[in-house]
Structure 1
């Protein structure tokens, strides 16, 4: 009888791609994949270790699986990912319930590691992080019509608050021919929406080709039959070029949506973060983007409570958000992370103040979102069907205005049966804070 393996993938979509590669290797070796760890013989946990909340979630998950192992429901546990890579010295000792503790450079060998674990050997191994697999066969674990295309691994920016470079290593791009081959395979297997991601997506190709090649990659992705929506996330503001904006504006398959994390607007704060820009430069950039790409949806992320942030600097950020009026925005309280430069900065802000400031920004953004949604009343938009809400007795999905997992939904009725992955034309009839309500007018 085949050994059953369950994967728990925590953290970001980049981590999810790594998990999908492990799943493919396990399935090809004859292991049976199950979606619930409680139904598995072996659980593999791909952890996140980026900020405090992510670390706590990973630890809680491992402890919960440990209880299942004690009860005899689960036989073996393998842990890997960013938390383990970051705290490799402590991980094996702190998680005695784990039968294998492996680094991100070891996931390519997951089958061999699992074989050892099933032979009752405890495996603790950390291959060089630069050995992490950049491409390879995957089993798509998202809804069948969309997935992520990870175009690079690691990061070389060394923002003072961020642990990613020490966890994942330097920025390494995937060769373009490999990405196009993967994208074609995905499209041939039913994927119609591709979300292009990396830690610093707009830098794609600089290490391989001497200059960024995201614009060229996007242009070539648009030539792949079957793909309908192509979306780009995580583009640093200083890397937004006219060439990139021209491609986004010109290509019909590229949704007019840009996610540009800026973290703050105050020049002094950004300098201490080792980030680009100030209020004037950022406002000019976003105005330029809106001019080059009409009706573009702009998304950003912000950090409040960074060490030394004064009340005046926070007010500057709040006023900046009101003026720029981002279509989508996430704001997070600063998380003090060991090993980063900002950890030892003076003038640390207490967690309560940082969180309160983040709440203020998000309250402002909710008002902006409500106003933006009200302006869509009566609009006709294309939406992709994600499922049926049996309690609301309606379908739900997303328009091009929203990215998977991080943005809002549209809930809609239909006189005809629909399938997940269908693209339909809907008319907006009502709004919620971040979501829309509508009705199908054509399929």
Structure 2
């Protein structure tokens, strides 16, 4: 009798990819999938351990599942929390039967069988020993017409606040042939948009071939016939090259969208963070990017409340947000992570001050975003139609090139005149209005006849 497995995924898009890899491995090995954890023989939890809030959510989820776990069930955790705190979890939460490190998930079919042999399994290696990932037939764990594709794992940047190298290891690019194969696999599964992710996509290829880089990969991927959109997330500013910008400009299938995590705009803070790309570099990069790509939608992320940050630093960040005009920005309060240089820096900022400051900069960015979004009113842009709005006749939700899933706004579209199947298609939409971070559009007979993208 085949064992039934349920999976809970926490954390970022990279964890979603890992969960899809795990699901593909287990199904290929004869395991059965079970959505209801109460009916599963094995409960897997893919954990996150990046910052305090993520750790707390992972621990609460483990404890909740452990408290309701039946005698016949096995509880296995993997992901970054499992990698980072494997010893502590094995001691403090004895209900956990298996702990699997980030480099060991390909062993999960065998590990689960070992558990049912009566022994607990502890499979965690040092992150510095991690190997390059290869191709696996993934199985989706979430619905949608987009899929993330991890082109590299690990990080060599060693920012003073970050634990990623400790739990994900050094930077390791996937081989180009494996990425191309995986992209074709996803396209054949019906995904219209493939989103390339890594801790830093800009460094892709540096560890495998000095002559093959991210632009080289993008040019190969755009040749895949039925791929509609490629989106790029998480490009460290140091590695956003002219070659990459011109490749994005030249290739129609690449969304004119970039996520560039800058973390702050004050040089004093950036230097303490261990960031080498400072304010003048940032200003020049943003200006150049907008010159080469006039229609680019830029997203960034910022950490507020880093040790030593003062009122002047926040003024610099606030002024920079107004001047640089990112379409989107995400903000996080600094999380004091043990094992990082920043955790023992002097002048740690009190939590209440962090919250006040993050509220201030969010308010500034919200105004910028509204202004940037309004610029699209009156334009016709392609939109991926993703779902019907319940109880609203002829109204659908979708995303344009300037909107990454789950983190940016959406497009509300009236599709009354469209007779063909709508969901899952990319069609030109006339933008007739905006509301906060979302756009409102309609499709006319004329624009629908021009739908050659979807």
Q: Distance in 2 between matches of 1:418 and 1:247?
A: 33
Secondary structure of 1:105's counterpart equals coil
Is 2:125 the counterpart of 1:127? yes
In 2, are the aligned partners of 1:108 and 1:132 still within 8 Å (CA)?
A: no
Deviations 1:126-178 (A, max 9, x none): 13433456122211234353211211110011000000001111111111121
Is 2:51 the counterpart of 1:85? no
Partner of 2:178: 178
Q: Distance in 2 between matches of 1:361 and 1:235?
A: 22
Q: TM-score, normalised by structure 2?
A: 0.93
Shift of 1:419: 4.3
In 1, are the aligned partners of 2:147 and 2:194 still within 8 Å (CA)?
A: yes
Partner of 1:434: 437
Q: Distance in 2 between matches of 1:437 and 1:119?
A: 57
Deviations 1:378-417 (A, max 9, x none): 3222111211221445211111111112111112221236
In 2, are the aligned partners of 1:265 and 1:279 still within 8 Å (CA)?
A: yes
Equivalent position to 1:94, from 75, 92, 117 = 92
Q: TM-score, normalised by structure 1?
A: 0.95
Q: Distance in 2 between matches of 1:375 and 1:400?
A: 14
Q: Distance in 2 between matches of 1:285 and 1:144?
A: 33
Q: Distance in 2 between matches of 1:188 and 1:153?
A: 24
Q: Which runs of 5+ in 1 are unaligned?
A: none
Shift of 1:33: 1.1
**Residues 64 and 418 of structure 1: is their aligned pair in 2 closer, same or farther, counting only changes over 3 Å?**
farther
* Matching of residues 142-291 of structure 1 within 5 Å: 142-210=142-210, 213-291=213-291
Q: Distance in 2 between matches of 1:85 and 1:175?
A: 24
> What do you get for the CA RMSD once the two structures are aligned?
1.7
Q: Distance in 2 between matches of 1:122 and 1:403?
A: 41
Shift of 1:16: 1.4
Partner of 2:316: 316
Shift of 1:8: 1.1
Shift of 1:110: 0.3
Partner of 1:421: 424
In 2, are the aligned partners of 1:195 and 1:230 still within 8 Å (CA)?
A: yes
Deviations 1:273-310 (A, max 9, x none): 11122222211110010001121111100011100011
In 2, are the aligned partners of 1:187 and 1:225 still within 8 Å (CA)?
A: no
Q: Distance in 2 between matches of 1:278 and 1:116?
A: 51
Partner of 2:45: 45
* Matching of residues 342-361 of structure 1 within 5 Å: 342-361=342-361
Deviations 1:92-131 (A, max 9, x none): 1122221111211221100011112223322122134334
Deviations 1:233-289 (A, max 9, x none): 110111111111110000000011111000011112111111122222211110010
Q: Which runs of 5+ in 2 are unaligned?
A: none
Secondary structure of 1:186's counterpart equals helix
Shift of 1:61: 1.1
**Residues 10 and 132 of structure 1: is their aligned pair in 2 closer, same or farther, counting only changes over 3 Å?**
farther
**Residues 133 and 79 of structure 1: is their aligned pair in 2 closer, same or farther, counting only changes over 3 Å?**
farther
